[in-house]
Chains A and B, each alone.
Chain A
């Protein structure tokens, strides 16, 4: 009976019977639907309400145009502070990620326990929400860009570190082993055999991380971690949506420029 349920039998023209395993797709879909149903119940999902009141969504948007152009001149400094914050955090984070990634890669580091420990440490860092890290950093370092930089640094270490060790573990080991056999130290062989292989991807990942961080840095101001987010929070608090529009416009342009530059270099690297 169970056999019948799990497999579909097909009789071929030559009289032989073959079995096709049944797809579990209907079961998966049913589970997904149940989950969605209970999630919708839990979050008070109400489609009618959304349709009825969706016009309210555009009220704030309408107030944002036209943006307050005069406000723009006050924005340069915080904007540059935001960029500096994410630049410094990402750069230092990417540099610090390298030794950690080497320690975490099982094919370079022969101590299994140490590699597992570093891996666990990296995923622990990655699970800490950046916003929470920034909030904790403001308690320790005071309000300002320092707190944001620390939060971005921690996120970058974890993010670049994880992607980098995965790449190191997938690297071609032939040259590395040959160099080891010739009597080079682990670090020397890593430098000349593995590092050139992972370098383009390492740089590209770091650039991508920087891109994301510029975007993220604008939220960090919300908890007092400096940069343009601080002004955004202030303008939202005062319901001065023309100012918010100006901030968002400037942010979009900045992110677009940075993304284009970084996309250009990433394309060149690959």
Chain B
């Protein structure tokens, strides 16, 4: 028996484990197939699909290049503004929560409680927040901003907390040993380590918020969602097409720019 064969024999036998995992996944898979029904396939479903494609290929150009406050450009700008403010407010709220949920800063039980709270905040669907904020501010983009900021908190503080837990404490120790004050330690030891990562995470969330902004349309909280859903529900596909094209181009553009900025931020 040569060395290669010996190495081969040393390999752990995972066949049983794999078999169990495969069986479990297959069982779950077949259990969940009941979510699929084709019987409700509306008879004119294919026709509608055709209409949608036609609408997107022949967008309503007047709407797409209309620069008044009814046009796609203005709606996109408003959506961007909502997402920007939502991300910033959410980020500001997330910072204290992130410190409170980082297990190297606070005792474990407190961190666990805050983490559970964050799961609760994250799980409540945006529409519910939207309705709550509309009571506060009335319909309009301001409610959208507040909704976005609340829905952003969950993910932002989770990711912020991960960064805080990865802090390089040896820097703080060496600063302590040369006699820095607590303020100096925070200013020159902690903040420079965190800002780049925090910014990168917030830009990532901005991307996501832009994509999720369509949800706000369900509760009339501003942005491009409402006109889009309205156009779709009344089968005005060319209008929906022009809004969708605008949205997709904007998201692709922002994604390209933000990935460039984030790569620069992370590399330093």
| Residues B48 and A139 in contact, CB atoms below 8 Å apart | yes
Check: A87 CB closer than 8 A to any chain B CB: yes
Instruction: Report the separation of the CA atoms of residues A40 and B214 in the bound assembly, to the nearest whole angstrom.
Output: 19
As a 0/1 sequence over residues 113 to 127 of chain B, the CB contacts with chain A under 8 angstroms (1 = contact) are 000100110111111
| Residues B35 and A84 in contact, CB atoms below 8 Å apart | yes
- A60-B131, A140-B42 are known contacts. Are A43 and B48 too (CB-CB below 8 A)? no
Instruction: Report the separation of the CA atoms of residues A46 and B140 in the bound assembly, to the nearest whole angstrom.
Output: 12
Check: B59 CB closer than 8 A to any chain A CB: no
Which of the candidate stretches B79-87, B99-107, B160-168, B170-178 sits at the interface with the other chain? B79-87
| Residues B116 and A44 in contact, CB atoms below 8 Å apart | no
Instruction: Report the separation of the CA atoms of residues A42 and B123 in the bound assembly, to the nearest whole angstrom.
Output: 29
Chain B proximity of A270: nearest CB distance (Å)? 13
Closest B residue to A43 by CB, please name it: B141
Instruction: Report the separation of the CA atoms of residues A136 and B244 in the bound assembly, to the nearest whole angstrom.
Output: 12
Check: B29 CB closer than 8 A to any chain A CB: yes
Which of the candidate stretches B1-9, B181-189, B245-253 sits at the interface with the other chain? B245-253
Check: A56 CB closer than 8 A to any chain B CB: yes
Closest B residue to A60 by CB, please name it: B132
| Residues A43 and B29 in contact, CB atoms below 8 Å apart | no
| Residues B215 and A35 in contact, CB atoms below 8 Å apart | no
Instruction: Report the separation of the CA atoms of residues A25 and B142 in the bound assembly, to the nearest whole angstrom.
Output: 29
Check: A116 CB closer than 8 A to any chain B CB: no
Check: A76 CB closer than 8 A to any chain B CB: no
| Residues A53 and B38 in contact, CB atoms below 8 Å apart | no
Q: Which residues of B contact A251 (CB under 8 A)?
A: 123-124
Task: Kindly identify, within residues 147 to 183 of chain A, every residue whose CB is under 8 Å from any CB belonging to chain B.
Answer: 148-149
Q: Which residues of B contact A46 (CB under 8 A)?
A: 137, 142
- A43-B145, A45-B142 are known contacts. Are A141 and B42 too (CB-CB below 8 A)? yes
| Residues B41 and A222 in contact, CB atoms below 8 Å apart | no
Check: A85 CB closer than 8 A to any chain B CB: yes
Chain A proximity of B125: nearest CB distance (Å)? 5
Contact of B31 among A84, A132, A139 (CB under 8 A): A84
Instruction: Report the separation of the CA atoms of residues A144 and B41 in the bound assembly, to the nearest whole angstrom.
Output: 10
Chain B proximity of A253: nearest CB distance (Å)? 9
Instruction: Report the separation of the CA atoms of residues A4 and B234 in the bound assembly, to the nearest whole angstrom.
Output: 61
Closest A residue to B243 by CB, please name it: A132
Instruction: Report the separation of the CA atoms of residues A46 and B132 in the bound assembly, to the nearest whole angstrom.
Output: 17
Closest B residue to A149 by CB, please name it: B35
Instruction: Report the separation of the CA atoms of residues A132 and B131 in the bound assembly, to the nearest whole angstrom.
Output: 20
Check: B267 CB closer than 8 A to any chain A CB: no
Check: B28 CB closer than 8 A to any chain A CB: yes
Contact of A124 among B34, B131, B133, B248 (CB under 8 A): B248
As a 0/1 sequence over residues 72 to 108 of chain B, the CB contacts with chain A under 8 angstroms (1 = contact) are 0000011011101100100000000000000000000
Q: Which residues of A contact B214 (CB under 8 A)?
A: 129, 131-132
- A42-B141, A59-B135, A146-B35 are known contacts. Are A87 and B85 too (CB-CB below 8 A)? no
Instruction: Report the separation of the CA atoms of residues A128 and B245 in the bound assembly, to the nearest whole angstrom.
Output: 10
- A50-B146, A60-B132, A222-B218 are known contacts. Are A88 and B137 too (CB-CB below 8 A)? no
| Residues B119 and A255 in contact, CB atoms below 8 Å apart | yes
Check: B10 CB closer than 8 A to any chain A CB: no
Check: A57 CB closer than 8 A to any chain B CB: yes
| Residues A136 and B52 in contact, CB atoms below 8 Å apart | yes
Across the A-B interface, give the 5 residue pairs with the lowest CB-CB distance, nearest first: A142-B40, A39-B81, A43-B141, A129-B214, A84-B32
Query: Can you list 26 contacts pairing A with B, beta carbon distance less than 8 Å?
Result: A36-B84, A49-B142, A50-B136, A60-B128, A61-B132, A81-B35, A84-B35, A87-B32, A87-B35, A91-B29, A124-B248, A127-B247, A127-B251, A131-B214, A131-B218, A135-B232, A135-B233, A136-B52, A142-B41, A142-B42, A144-B40, A146-B36, A215-B123, A232-B127, A248-B128, A252-B119
